[in-house]
């Protein structure tokens, strides 16, 4: 088995919204204070109005958790993001003007992002497991908190019927909200939350906008801690908005089934989506062809084994871990020809018929970043698999089951 020259593997650790990073993955967008969006964004007055309301509602609640809510209002900073951090008893959220000025951001979507950052502090479990992030709820949980609890509190006393009449709410959302809630105000809030979620989830959707009627069908094998894909995030916002648990029942800080709609209680609506959340004691990712003892674990992207992208210039972060294979010091990654499956699944030989390219690397865990515009010949469906190698580039495992990448419109 001949393999190519070894390259660097990047580490996969990420603290997302915490430790100086953001509501969105790191990006280089910057919308300075003079930027004027034609179709959307909010002005400084609305920026402060939303944060004033958040401060008023959550000051006493954060105090009950032993903290002091501090909102850094960074209107002049053009960063298109938001973040959370702690300094002693200060529970800090950082809200940037660049995010508020972005063309897809509405006032309600900006409120959702602020709620998400509060959710890192008090959104409950699951929390980050990486070192330095143990106090913070994971991204999906913070999204869920934002719509099950925080936005409802912020919207409760508004003239929601009038606000909703100005929104173009899809009929399926109207029907779902009417079925879930009997009171008109609750129905209106439900619709408002759904549209706020659509706006927030559309940030960096890269030409493939999320939709209410196309839920993410991927299922993670373990709870994913970083940023879910846009469709998965919309599913979380939407589900949180239709959950019937009262907003004053706070989410459990140790038990994920307290204050939530959940499978343990046999709830059928308002659940955290399985595209990022794995309930304790469940197996939401059944594999009809489970790997054998020496078969490499399937590589994933954001915890998922099947993804779609329309942007060939966007890096695809492929996460892998082969550290459990005895003698492993590196790995090889193999990509199939477009629209071709591997002809020799789970063996130890590369596919000389349907394989497109094969390359070897040092290291046994981390993230390989694939750039479609450079590494793939064009639109199509590709399979990606990995195999563990020893120090002499000899296989010490079988090839994994494939990750599926759908590249195209």
Structure token digits, residue 16? 């997302």
The answer to whether residues 403 and 305 touch, using CB atoms and an 8 Å cutoff, is yes
Q: CA-based diameter of the chain, in Å?
A: 69
Burial (CB count <10 Å: 0-12, 13-18, 19+), residue 66: exposed
Mean pLDDT by 10 residues, the chain (409 residues): 32 39 81 85 97 98 95 97 94 97 96 97 90 80 98 98 96 97 97 98 82 92 89 97 95 93 94 94 42 74 83 89 89 92 86 91 88 92 93 90 86
CB atoms within 10 A of CB 56: 10
Number of H helices, E strands in the chain: 10, 10
Question: How far is the C-alpha of 188 from the C-alpha of 168, rounded, in Å?
Answer: 13
The per-residue DSSP string of 250-297 comes to PPPSS-TTTTS--GGGT--SSPPPTTT---TT---S--SS---TTBPP
CA distances from 378 to 87, 300, 370, 372, 381 (A): 48, 21, 14, 8, 10
**What's the CA dihedral at 347, 349, 355, 361 to 10 degrees?**
100
Q: What is the pLDDT of residue 409?
A: 65
Question: Pick from 253, 272, 252: which is nearest to 261 by CA?
Answer: 272
Beta strand 90-96 with 68-74 is parallel
CA 71 to CA 95: how far, in whole Å?
7
Model pLDDT, residue 26: 78
Q: Which residue has 């394989």 as its token pair? A: 355
Note the CATH architecture for domain 306-407.
Sandwich (2.60)
Phi, psi of 365 (to 5 degrees): -150, 155
Q: How far apart are CA 316 and CA 170, in angstroms?
A: 31
| Listed residue (206, 200, 204, 232) closest to 219, CA to CA | 232
User: Phi/psi at 383 (nearest 5 deg)?
Assistant: -110, 140
Q: Copy the structure tokens of residue 170.
A: 């899809």
Distance between CA 34 and CA 43 in Å, rounded? 11
How many Cα atoms occupy the beta-carbon half-sphere of 123 within 13 Å? Answer: 29
Residue 381 host element (H or E) = strand 380-389
- In angstroms, the CA 174 to CA 244 distance is 16
pLDDT number for residue 5 = 30
Phi, psi of 319 (to 5 degrees): -90, 140
Domain boundaries, the chain: 44-265, 306-407
E strand or H helix that includes residue 40: none
CB atoms within 10 A of CB 24: 21
- Return the percent helix, strand and coil in the chain, to nearest 5: 30, 20, 55
Q: Which helix (H) or strand (E) holds 109?
A: helix 107-122
30 vs 9: CA distance, rounded Å: 29
Question: Tokens at residue 119, please?
Answer: 């959710």
How far is it, in rounded angstroms, from Cα 301 to Cα 404? 10
The dihedrals phi and psi of 127, each to the nearest 5 degrees, come to -110, 165
- pLDDT per position as a tens digit, 81-98: 999 999 999 999 999 999
Closest Cα to residue 73, out of 58, 61, 90, 55?
55
Q: What is the model's pTM?
A: 0.70
């Amino acid at each position: 088995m001949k393999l190519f020259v070894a390259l660097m593997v990047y580490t996969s650790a990420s603290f997302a919204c915490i430790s100086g990073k953001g509501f969105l993955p790191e990006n280089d967008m910057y919308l300075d204070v003079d930027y004027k969006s034609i179709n959307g964004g909010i002005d400084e007055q609305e920026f402060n109005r939303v944060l004033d309301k958040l401060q008023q509602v959550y000051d006493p609640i954060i105090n009950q958790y032993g903290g002091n809510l501090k909102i850094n209002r960074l209107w002049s900073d053009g960063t298109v993001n938001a973040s959370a951090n702690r300094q002693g008893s200060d529970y800090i959220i950082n809200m940037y003007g660049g995010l508020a000025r972005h063309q897809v951001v509405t006032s309600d979507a900006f409120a959702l992002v602020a709620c998400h950052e509060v959710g890192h502090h008090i959104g409950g479990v699951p929390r980050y497991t990486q070192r330095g992030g143990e106090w913070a709820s994971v991204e999906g949980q913070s999204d869920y908190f934002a719509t099950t609890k925080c936005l409802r509190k912020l919207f409760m006393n508004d003239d929601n019927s009038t606000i909703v009449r100005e929104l173009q709410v899809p009929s399926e959302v109207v029907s779902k909200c009417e079925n879930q809630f009997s009171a008109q105000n609750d129905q209106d809030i439900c619709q408002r939350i759904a549209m706020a979620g659509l706006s927030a989830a559309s940030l960096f959707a890269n030409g493939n906008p999320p939709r209410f009627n196309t839920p993410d069908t991927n299922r993670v094998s373990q709870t994913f801690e970083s940023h879910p894909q846009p469709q998965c995030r919309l599913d979380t916002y939407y589900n949180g908005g239709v959950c019937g648990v009262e907003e004053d029942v706070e989410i459990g800080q140790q038990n994920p089934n307290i204050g939530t709609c959940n499978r343990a209680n046999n709830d059928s609506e308002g659940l955290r989506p399985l595209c990022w959340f794995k309930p304790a004691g469940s197996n939401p990712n059944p594999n009809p062809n489970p790997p054998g003892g020496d078969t490499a674990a399937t590589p994933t992207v954001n915890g998922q084994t099947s993804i779609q992208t329309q942007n060939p210039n966007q890096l695809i972060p492929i996460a892998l871990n082969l550290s459990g294979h005895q003698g492993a010091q590196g790995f090889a990654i193999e990509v199939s020809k477009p629209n071709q499956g591997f002809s020799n699944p789970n063996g130890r030989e590369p596919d000389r018929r349907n394989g497109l390219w094969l390359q070897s690397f040092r290291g046994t865990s981390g993230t390989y970043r694939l750039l479609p515009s450079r590494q793939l010949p064009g639109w199509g469906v590709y399979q990606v698999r990995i195999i563990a190698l020893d120090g002499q580039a000899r296989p010490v495992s079988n090839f994994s089951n494939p990750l599926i990448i759908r590249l195209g419109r």
